[in-house]
Structures are given as structure tokens and as C-alpha cells.
Amino acid sequence: MNTPSQDVWVYVEHPNGVVAPHTYELLGKGRDLAQALGGRLVAVLLGHDVASLAQTLGTADLVLSVDHQRLASFTPDAHARTVRALGESAMPRLLLCGATSAGIDLASLLSALVPVPMVVNVRAIEVEGGRVITTSQLCGGKLLCEMELTGCTVLTVLAGAFPAEAGFATRGAPVESMAAPAALDQAPVHVLRLIEPAGEDVDITRVSILIAVGRGIQRKENLQLAEELAGLLAGAVCASRPVIDQGWLPLSRQVGKSGMVVKPALYLALGISGAPEHLEGMRNAELIVAVNTDAGAPIFNVAHYGVVGDMFEVIPALMAQLRERKAA
Amino acid sequence: MLSASPRPWQHEFNPCIQCGICGGSCPLGHVMDHTPRRVIHLAKEGLLDEVLRTTTPWLCVSCYTCAARCPSGLKITDLLFPALRDAALTAGLQPPSEVKRALDNTYRYGNPFGEGPRKRLEWAKGAGVSVPVISQVKRRVDVLWIVECYPAYHPRNQRQAQAMARLFHALGVDFAVLGPEEHCIGDCERLAGEHGLFESLVEYNAGLLERYEYGEIVTSDPHAMNSLKRVYPAMGHRYPTVHYVEYLARHLETLRPLLRRPLRARVTYHDNCCLGRACGIYEAPRDLLRAIPGVALVEMPFTRETSLCCGGGGAGMWLDTTIWQAAHERLSDRRIAHALATGADILAVSCPFETSRFEDALKSTGNDGRLVVRDILELLDESVAARSEVQA
Amino acid sequence: MKIAVLLTMVPDLVEELEIDPSGTALDTQWLRYVLSESDDHALEQALLLKDRHSASVTALALDYGDAEQALFTALAKGADAAIKIAPVPPGGPNRRGAAALFAEVLRRQPADLILTGVQATNDLDGHLPGLLGGLLDLRYVGVTRSVEASADGGLVVQKEYPGGVAAEISLPTPAVIGVISAPQPPRYVPVARIREVTKTRMVGVEAAIAVDPQPAAVIRRLYKPEPAGHATMLTGPPEQMAQELAAILEGRGLLR
């Protein structure tokens, strides 16, 4: 039987050998939670040859590390069973994972293996008199659900829910190296290789940040502005039908009734008036920001934020701001 | 072998004399891999697979030009292309994604937009007059008004529905609508080749209409009229149905004194395919327009039977990209040039597809502002009420 | 290869969602259900495997909210068999409860490959395929954009990561896979075929065997966020609006 401690664990994701920004968000929030609960903040670091990463995890009181060749690339089985082994003696009060590709697999599998309850898509966590209250997002954000957690719980947390700065640290934390479970050597799930996306063909339905251009872009040459902004945000450029008709972008970039239906985390619409046929393709995007010279443009009825202005002034200013913040 | 179609529609085309008038008249014939004439020939030779593998089945906008001109009177529009599309779907070939979405939505929600049925009456909130729902009125009404999907859900067309409601009130018409129970009549779904979906819509609508008592059906959608008048009866369901232009023209002597505010504009009228070639209604809309004081009616090139389709019919509204990719022009762009050539201030239409298609064509061809597009309902409504500005 | 595809019915978001008087659940009066989108992809993935490797596909669903309709559609698309698990309370159990019910049936009727959508819009207490992997003690990979059978009888899947990157992973069967998308869009099936299948085919029934519920988090409040009918308009000169906008993007974690 596992007796939960009051510790808060954060599962560290480190794609490409660097700790993910989202993990810092969890560490920052985890710090506050551990304090409120009277427990320790523990960073759970699984991988191979990742000792150096512990240097940036100083927000935590302790880094629980398991180093094994079979943990180098993420597979749900290897990582979940290793975390379960770590929790054998004492499961934490909370295990925070990102609501990411790796995080949701790990959390679900672990939750059933231990077993331990789980809450997904969390965007707020509070401690009220020793009780933990979470708020989750459901149905594409149309519903919010407040939960009171009972005992040890695994949470998957939405990106951007908490500030990453609160989790940064310039010093490291003490590292406790744990042995990997014996069965890991025979684990039958193997990562064969990593597939990088092909250069040309972008599937805009799978990109989480889209910069969309409409008639307001006026000329093909002006697309470069959108491309630059997309590059800064690691997104892709898409367009409403009139731009595609001109042949300025391929059909694969068309958003709307006669194009793709997209649900990105950010849809930044530049010079798009918001005809019903276009809205059909993007109105369920999580965050819609529209820039248009016309204050009466219908796009402002579905956008979350609106800027009435000339995109050729606003976007360069925005890019300058973004560069500043990224450098900081 | 893709085309193991169990439907013996090929035999309907035995009288075809391969004259080529259909392909020659088709506004998109020049971009089809196989013209209608070729398709009929290939069908008879058992070589339909060749057609199914091309985009040809999806390039028809059901404008009825071929059917109107065929010397053998063959029902090319109503039989050939829907059968091709049905054969493609049955063989597991995927329709263009836009068509798929529209069909999925209609099957699930009774409208191609995928909007909730409960929102079907939202437009009535902006009408300024009451819009009775027949299930709540619970008595016989003179007119059951079938609003249809575009006037109910599309933001631009909702203004036409609102205008119609106000006109009914101005004329003292005893009318009611179906409200949230209304489902698509199914004309475009039928022409898109989904005969199963059309049948289920017919069953649903027949069941619905049987429940109520009314004098006649008036619809603001020529496509709904097309199916109600010409296809539903063949399936055992006959309803007295007219389009609003027929109804209002019939009551013109009551309407005329109400048309107080002059419009002072040159107006040209676009004959749409369902009212025109399919049902032969050309004078009623013109009578209505001439009744508005201040209107000078001018005719475009290619009117009445020779009118050029706007490109929206028969699933055309869901085939924009497919047709664009093949033709690199929109029929509405071609047609708007005819309207502009008349020097008219207003392009009058009577089909809900046309308003946004022609307004879009004005923008695409760089002619925004040179004329405005209005449904006849909007023009009549303007003339009846003391309204300040023509809404842009 | 025997493939089981698990279908979950979720609230249809087309209509307005209402909260019931208790404040902790959805009002079911006008609530309609639709098949979870990623389950549609899971079914497509199963059918693609069937096309290529002559696998047999069985669709399973808990019997609530139009599940039969979804099962008949699966048969019309090409599934070999369909099973509904009953009885189940209206609105269905939570995800853990669903996993337990499916697991019971799958123990009685094992499959080589269990496919289901990796997540559903109303997931709250977990995601189905991962939970199943743990309950059945089967290998599990989720967020897949492609599943292929390998020559040795196992699977090769592509697990999707941000930016179009994917990890190619091999694993043996039996296994549970959580699908996010199939290599091609879910196929269209003519309504005539669905109607035909509804008249000529049967949906099998399996008993829903309840298990002891695990302690779970308690729902305190289910509510709708403040609606915004119009955008919040930023004001000021371009530089000021740009600054505000940059702050908003950063606050949402969109700056990477």
C-alpha cells in the first residue's frame, strides 16, 4: 500500500536534450504547491546521460534521476513503469505532467498501473486548507470543471497555465540516482528513429500556431511579413481563399469552408474580413487575434482580441516585441 | 471494377443521339475530362470507370442548360451526374472534403452548415415582426413558409428571410414556419449523388408536412421548390408549392400600393437556374421589380433560358475549390461581368446562393462598389418600409 | 489480426451546453451525443489495416447516447462486427469506469490490437487507451498518426510530437494504441449503405460488469466560462497594441 507523502513531483520532459519550457511552468507552480502542502518539490528525471540537466532544475528540492539506455527515447511503458517503481515506497501527493504527447501517455498508463486517480487538462491548481482544488478545461474550453482531489493524484497540465520564469533556476538541485526496474532491459517497445517533417509540405491542421493572411495582405511580396512572424512563433502561414486563388500560397494552406478546418492554439488573422465561409474553417481555434483596418469586420465577432490598425505597422512592432521577450 | 452500380440508369439514356449539344452548352464542359455526351457514351459501353477516376463527376453545377437543350429530352442534370456521383460514393471513392462535410452535416443536423437545429429560428429575432411556428400555432394556416437552410443560417441570407417576414406581415398573410423542426428539402444533396440521404430527408419532410394543415407552401429557395415540385411527387409526396416570386406576383395588386418608397435605380435581374430553366418562371420576378417605383429594369446579355449559372447549384456551393482548381475561374465572376456591362446600380437575384456568390465576385474581379447585389425580397422590403439607408 | 475499435460517445458541442441544477453535471434534456472525433480516426486506421492485411475489425461501444447509430455506421464502413456493452447509465460512466467496462469485455474476447482515440473532448479523469493499457497490462503507445503491421506480427507506429516530428516505435502485439489521426481522413460512407446495414445487420450485446470504483477526485463545480460576443479590442498607437499583444501571447505560453 502506498502512503502518500505531501511531496509534489514534476515529470521532466527534455526533447532534444534541453528541459522543455513547459516543465519549468510545472516546477514554478510545483514550488508553491509543495510549500503550501508542507512537502518537497521533486523533479523526476528519466533518460540516458542526462545528469547535466539537473543543473537547471534547482527550483526543486531534489532530483530523482534514473539513467538507463532504454529510457533515452520516450516510450510510455518504459517511463511509466519506471515512475511506478520510484513511487513504490511513497507516492507523492501530486504528480504534475504536461498535457503533451509524452505527458498524457505517461500519466494515463501510470494512473491505471499503480493505480492512482488522475485529472486531465488542468489549468489552475490551488491549495485550500490542505485540500487540493484543480480546474480543468473540457469540450474545447466550453466547460470548466473544479475538482477536489482525494489523496495522491496524477495531473496533466495545459501548456501556458503557469509562468515558466517561476521555474527557472541558475543552480542545480541535489540528485538522487535510482536504479531502473530490472525488466527495463527486456522492454519490448523500441523507438526506431525520429522522423523530421518534410520541408515543403505543411499540414496546417497539425500546426499549433497559424498566421493567416487575407485580401488585406494586398501583394504576394507582403507574404514575407507573415512568414517572418510565423518563424518567430514557430508557426506556419495559411490564408483565406482569395489569397490561394491568386496562387500566392498552395492549396494546402487554405483555411475555410472550401479548404481546411483548423483548431490551432493561436490563429492570428491579418487582413481577413471574416466571411462566414472563412469562419467555418477556424472559429474553434483556442485563441483568435484579428488585425484589420475595418472596425466593423465580422472577424471581430469571433476573435478573442482585436486590433484595428494597419498590419504593416502593427506586425513589425509586434515582432520587435517578441524578439525582445524571447531574448530575455 | 469500380462501377458495379445496381441502378439501371444507363438505359434512360438510350435515346441519346450523341449530338454534343449538352457538352457544347455546359458552362464547365471545356474543363471536364469527359463532356456529358462522352459520359453517356462511356456509360453505354460499360467504361464508366474512366469517368469515375476523374474530377468530371464533381464539376457539374446542375444549371439545367444541357437538359433544357437536349433534343431527346434527356434528364441529364437530374439523372446523369447524380448517378455518377452515387456510383463514385458507392465504389468507395472519396468526395471532395467540402462535399463530405456538407453531407455529413445534413445527415446529422438536417442542414449542410452543421448548425444546431435549435438555431434555425435565430434569424427571426432580427425581423422586427413575429414569425409564428406552426407547431405552436396549432391550427391551419394559409401559407406554410419553408425558409430553407441558407436564409435561416447564413448571415447574409438571414436579411432576406427577415425581409420576407416583414412582407408577409405587410400583406396580412396568414403564415407560419416549421421552425427548429425544419430540415433541408434536400435538392442539393440529391444532386450531389446522395440518394440515400435524399430519401431519408424526403421521409422526414413527408412525415413532418403530413402533421400540419396549410393552404399552400411558399418557399424562398428555388432549390427547395425544384425538388418539391418536380421530384417529391414522383416519390409519392405532392404538395402545392410556389416560390415567393410566384406568390408575391399573384398578390401584386395588394402589394403594389404598399411600395411607397421609390428606389430610383437601374436594376438588372439574374435568372437563376431552378426558377428559370427548371421551372420556366421568368416574368414573375420582373413584374415584381417593375412594380417598385423608380426602378428602371435593364436586361443583361444571356437572360431567361440562356442565363449563365452563378455556379452555386447542385452542390456547387460545396465544390468551390474543386471547380476552381479545374477551371481557374468562377462562373459568378463570368456572370458579374454581364451585370456590370448593363451599367446597372443593382443586381437583383431570387436565389439565396447568389447574393454571397455575386458579392464575392465583385471583390474578386476588383469591381467592389460598382454595383450592389440584392435579393428581390430586400428591394421590395425597402420600398414598403420607410428605411433610411440601403444596407451595404 | 483481430482488431477491436472502441467507440466513445461525447457531448455534441454544436448545441449550447447547459449545466443541470446540481451544478456538477451537464443537463441532458437537449444534450445530443456524437462519436468522438479521434475514435472516427481510430476506426479509419483499423479499416486501413483490414484493407491491407485482411484483419478482422470489431467495433465496441458502451450503450448510451446514440451508440447504436455509431456502431451501425462502423459496420457500414466495413467493420466485421459490432458490440454494444449494456446496461450503462445514460450519459455513460467516467473514463475510468468506461475503461473498466471495456477491459472486462476485452478479457473475455481478446484482440491482438485495441485501437481507440487517444483523447476525447470531455475527458476529465483520464484518457481511455492509456488507462486500458494499464488495466489489461498490455503494451501501449498513444498520439499515433499511423499504425502499420510489421512482418514479425508486431506493430510499427508513428507517435506524433509538436512541429510535425514523429517517433517511429515498434512494439509486439497484443497492444493498445491511442490514435490521434489516421493516415487518411475518415472515409465517407453513403447514407444508403448505413440504412441498408441498419436493416440487415445485428449489433451484438455484451454485459456491462461493474467493478469497484477506485477513489477518484470529486467534482465540486461544472460551469461555463464567461462568454465573449465580441473581441476585446486593444487600443492605442501600433507600438502600444503590439506590446499588449506580445504580453498576451507570452502569458498564454505561445512564445517558444
Chain B nearest C-alpha distance from C187 (Å): 7
Cβ contact (<8 Å) for A275 and B360? yes
pLDDT in tens, C131-163: 999 999 999 999 999 999 998 999 999 999 877
Give the C-alpha distances (Å, rounded to integers) separating A206 from A309, C163, C165.
29, 8, 11
Cβ contact (<8 Å) for C30 and B118? yes
Query: Which of A83, A101, A128, A202 is the best mutation test for C, with the most CBs of C within 10 A?
Result: A101
Domain C2-207 listed as CATH 3.40.640.10: no
Chain B residues in contact with A215 by the CB 8 A cut-off are: 363
Chain B residues in contact with A276 by the CB 8 A cut-off are: 154-156, 356
Chain A nearest C-alpha distance from B212 (Å): 34
Cβ contact (<8 Å) for A112 and C99? yes
Judge whether B329 is closer than 8 Å to chain A, CB to CB: no
Q: What is the mean pLDDT of residues B1-8?
A: 51
Judge whether C151 is closer than 8 Å to chain A, CB to CB: no
pLDDT in tens, B182-241: 999 999 999 999 999 999 999 999 999 999 999 999 999 999 999 999 999 999 999 999
pLDDT of amino acid B389: 41
Chain C nearest C-alpha distance from B347 (Å): 32
Which residue in C14, C188, C191 is closest to B200 by CB distance? Answer: C191
ipTM comes to 0.92
Q: Report how far residue A327's alpha carbon sits from residue A134's, in angstroms, rounded to the nearest whole number.
A: 33
> Nearest-CA neighbor of A266 among A229, A241, A292?
A229
Judge whether B300 is closer than 8 Å to chain C, CB to CB: no
> What are the cell numbers at B44?
453505354
Residue ranges per structural domain of chain C: 2-207
Chain C residues in contact with A124 by the CB 8 A cut-off are: none
Asked whether the predicted pLDDT for residue B7 surpasses 80, the reply is no
Q: What single-letter amino acid sits at C51?
A: D
Asked whether the predicted pLDDT for residue B4 surpasses 50, the reply is no
Which 3-state string (H, E, C) describes chain A? Answer: CCCCCCCEEEECCCHHHCCCHHHHHHHHHHHHHHHHHCCCEEEEEEECCCHHHHHHCCCCCEEEEEECHHHCCCCHHHHHHHHHHHCCCCCCCEEEEECCHHHHHHHHHHHHHCCCCEEEEEEEEEEECCEEEEEEEEHHHCEEEEEECCCCEEEEECCCCCCCHHHCCCCCCCEEEECCCHHHHHCCCEEEEEECCCCCCCCHHHCCEEEEECHHHCCHHHHHHHHHHHHHCCCEEEECHHHHHCCCCCHHHEECCCCECCCCCEEEEECCCCCHHHHHHHCCCCEEEEEECCCCCHHHHCCCEEEECCHHHHHHHHHHHHHHHHHC
Chain B nearest C-alpha distance from C16 (Å): 9
Spans in chain A with pLDDT lower than 50: 1-2
Chain B residues in contact with C195 by the CB 8 A cut-off are: 196, 199-200
- Is the pLDDT higher at C115 or at A200? C115
Quick one: closest CA in A to B357, which residue? Answer: A277
Give the C-alpha distances (Å, rounded to integers) separating B365 from A220, B59, B361.
17, 22, 6
Give the residue numbers in C contacting B (CB under 8 Å), as ranges. 14-16, 30, 34, 185, 187-188, 190-195
User: Does residue C149 contact residue C86 with C-beta atoms inside 8 Å?
Assistant: no
Judge whether B154 is closer than 8 Å to chain A, CB to CB: yes
Among A residues 29-68, those touching chain C with beta carbons less than 8 Å apart? none
When mean pLDDT is compared across A96-105, A259-268, B105-114, C2-11, the lowest value belongs to A259-268
Which residue in B113, B320, B364 is closest to A258 by CB distance? Answer: B320
Judge whether A23 is closer than 8 Å to chain C, CB to CB: no
Chain A residues in contact with C215 by the CB 8 A cut-off are: 117, 150-151
Residue by residue, DSSP assigns C13-80 as: TTSPP-B-TTSSSB--SS--EEE-HHHHHHHHHHHHHHHHH--EEEEEEESSTTHHHHHHHHHHHT-S
Judge whether A146 is closer than 8 Å to chain C, CB to CB: yes
Judge whether A251 is closer than 8 Å to chain B, CB to CB: yes
Chain B residues in contact with A241 by the CB 8 A cut-off are: 320-321
Chains B & C: contacts with CB separation below 8 Å: 46
Q: What is the mean pLDDT of residues C29-47?
A: 95
Residue by residue, DSSP assigns C141-204 as: EEEEEEEEE-TTS-EEEEEE-GGG-EEEEEEPSSEEEEES--SSPPPP--HHHHHHHHHH---E
pLDDT in tens, C211-230: 777 778 999 999 998 876 78
Residues in CB range of A133: below 8 A, 6 or more apart: A125, A126, A127, A146, A147, A148, A149, C220
Residues in CB range of C83: below 8 A, 6 or more apart: C58, C59, C60, C61, C71, C105, C203, C204, C205, C206
Judge whether A259 is closer than 8 Å to chain B, CB to CB: yes
Q: Report how far residue B359's alpha carbon sits from residue B354's, in angstroms, rounded to the nearest whole number.
A: 8
> What are the cell numbers at C248?
498576451
Cβ contact (<8 Å) for C253 and A22? yes
Quick one: closest CA in C to A195, which residue? Answer: C166
Judge whether B306 is closer than 8 Å to chain A, CB to CB: no
pLDDT in tens, B46-63: 899 999 999 999 999 999
Which 3-state string (H, E, C) describes B36-102? Answer: HHHHHHHHHCCCHHHHHCCCHHHCCCCCCHHHHHCCCCCCHHHHHHHHHHHHHHHCCCCCCHHHHHH
The burial of B89, by beta-carbon neighbours within 10 Å (0-12 exposed, 13-18 middle, 19 or more buried), is given as buried
Chain A residues in contact with C31 by the CB 8 A cut-off are: none
Neighbours of chain B (3+ CB pairs under 8 A): A, C
DSSP-assigned beta bridge partners for residue A211: A237, A268
Cβ contact (<8 Å) for C249 and A208? no
pLDDT band per the 50, 70, 90 thresholds, residue B259: very high
Q: Report how far residue B196's alpha carbon sits from residue C192's, in angstroms, rounded to the nearest whole number.
A: 4
Cβ contact (<8 Å) for B363 and A215? yes
Cβ contact (<8 Å) for C195 and B104? no
Share of chain C above pLDDT 90, in %: 83
Give me Rg for the CA atoms of chain C.
Answer: 21
> What are the cell numbers at B258?
404598399
> What are the cell numbers at B144?
406554410
Query: Which of C72, C191, C194, C197 is the best mutation test for B, with the most CBs of B within 10 A?
Result: C191
> What are the cell numbers at B320?
468551390
Asked whether the predicted pLDDT for residue C182 surpasses 60, the reply is yes
pLDDT of amino acid A163: 87
Chain A nearest C-alpha distance from C174 (Å): 12
Residues in CB range of B71: below 8 A, 6 or more apart: B17, B19, B21
- Is the pLDDT higher at B7 or at A256? A256
User: Does residue C9 contact residue C64 with C-beta atoms inside 8 Å?
Assistant: yes
Cβ contact (<8 Å) for A241 and B320? yes
Chain A nearest C-alpha distance from C229 (Å): 6
Which residue in A245, A258, A298 is closest to B98 by CB distance? Answer: A258
Chain C residues in contact with A307 by the CB 8 A cut-off are: 233-234, 241, 245
Q: What is the mean pLDDT of residues B136-159?
A: 97
Q: Report how far residue C182's alpha carbon sits from residue C47's, in angstroms, rounded to the nearest whole number.
A: 10
Backbone angles phi, psi at C44, to 5 degrees: -60, -45
Neighbours of chain C (3+ CB pairs under 8 A): A, B
Quick one: closest CA in B to A247, which residue? Answer: B328
Chain C nearest C-alpha distance from A60 (Å): 21
Q: For the stretch C215-239, what's the b/e string if a residue is b when 16 or more beta carbons lie within 10 angstroms of its beta carbon?
A: ebbebeebeeeeeeeebeebeeebe
Q: Where in chain B is the domain with CATH 3.40.50?
A: 256-388
> What are the cell numbers at B92?
468507395
Which residue in B113, B318, B324 is closest to A245 by CB distance? Answer: B324
Chain B residues in contact with A242 by the CB 8 A cut-off are: 363-364
pLDDT of amino acid B388: 43
pLDDT of amino acid C29: 83
Chain C nearest C-alpha distance from A231 (Å): 11
Among A residues 153-212, those touching chain C with beta carbons less than 8 Å apart? 153, 159-161, 163-164, 188-197, 202-203, 206-209
Q: Is the dihedral of CA C251, C252, C254, C256 positive or negative?
A: positive
Q: Report how far residue A200's alpha carbon sits from residue A194's, in angstroms, rounded to the nearest whole number.
A: 18
Judge whether A138 is closer than 8 Å to chain C, CB to CB: yes
Query: Which of B113, B200, B203, B204 is the best mutation test for C, with the most CBs of C within 10 A?
Result: B200
State the average pLDDT for chain C: 94
Judge whether C31 is closer than 8 Å to chain A, CB to CB: no
DSSP-assigned beta bridge partners for residue B42: none
Name the CATH architecture for the domain at B256-388.
3-Layer(aba) Sandwich (3.40)
pLDDT in tens, A74-121: 999 999 999 999 999 889 999 999 999 999 999 999 999 999 999 999
